[in-house]
Amino acid sequence: MSSLLVRDVMSTSVVTVAPELGYKQIVDLLVEFGVSAVPVVDPRRRVLGVVSEADLLHKVEFNGEDVHARLFERRRRRLAKEKATGETAASLMTAPPVTITTTATLTQAAQLMEHRNVKRLPVVDDDELLVGIVSRRDLLRRYLREDDVIRADVIESVLRGIMWIDPIEVDVAVTGGHVTLAGKIDRRSSAQIAVRLIRGLDGVVGVTDDDLKWGFDDTTTRLSHTFDA
């Protein structure tokens, strides 16, 4: 069953900066390459942190203001003031970096982005060295699969491959990534499992199974046991 991984959608051409690179040079790189953030790496390409537009904008935010930390000041504002005085990537970056491996699923990447409130993730190999970067836009590539490819995946991977259901028993139609199932199979539980598996396929945006019937509803069967005293 097809399942895209981070390595399948990540960008391998990554703009990086050294820790000592200056503020103005970082701004120039973001503009030149049309990116909103750059990983900060050491000579081995180990990721030390990430400098984003948000990190750079703190200097604009506190332009002309007193940036000395005050007693009981919130940690977030204190860090923002520290970055407002930064002049190199090392002093501007957000660290430690939030990274992900090449073999992570797109679902795991999306969950990590949501949990850590980031728009992109540096991708590292088994040695923790940078090999790419994945963004929110990259994660949407799973929905670019053609309808006929999705239909073949439903039939061969789910129905025939996992569920051992003869595809002749189920009519599968896919339009705009939406899968519609019709026909009849032996058990209701098999239908439920098949639908769940199909929803997890790359490119599937929804499943309609209103016309998928079953011969036996085994989901309501309860086994009773009699115990001797």
Parts of the chain with a pLDDT under 70: 1-2, 62-78, 80, 221-229
pLDDT, residue 19, reads 98
Does 84 share its domain with 183? Answer: no
Same domain, 120 and 44: yes
Q: What is the pLDDT of residue 227?
A: 43
Residues 163 and 126 in one domain: no
| 175 shares a domain with 210 | yes
Give the CATH number of the domain where residue 69 resides.
3.10.580.10
Q: What is the pLDDT of residues 134-164, one digit of tens each?
A: 999 999 988 888 999 999 999 999 999 999 9
Show the domain range for 159: 145-216
pLDDT of 66: 54
Predicted pLDDT of residue 77? 66
| Model-wide pTM > 0.85 | no
What pLDDT does residue 175 have? 96
Write down the pLDDT at residue 228.
Answer: 47
Same domain, 71 and 156: no
Q: Are residues 69 and 14 in the same domain?
A: yes
DSSP, residue by residue, the chain: ----BHHHH-BS----B-TT-BHHHHHHHHHHHT-SEEEEE-TT-BEEEEEEHHHHHHHHHTTTS-----TT--HHHHHHHHHHT--BHHHHSBSS---EETT-BHHHHHHHHHHHT-SEEEEE-TTSBEEEEEEHHHHGGGGG--HHHHHHHIIIIIIIIIS---GGGEEEEEETTEEEEEEEEEEHHHHHHHHHHHHTSTT--EEEEEEEEEEE-TTS---------
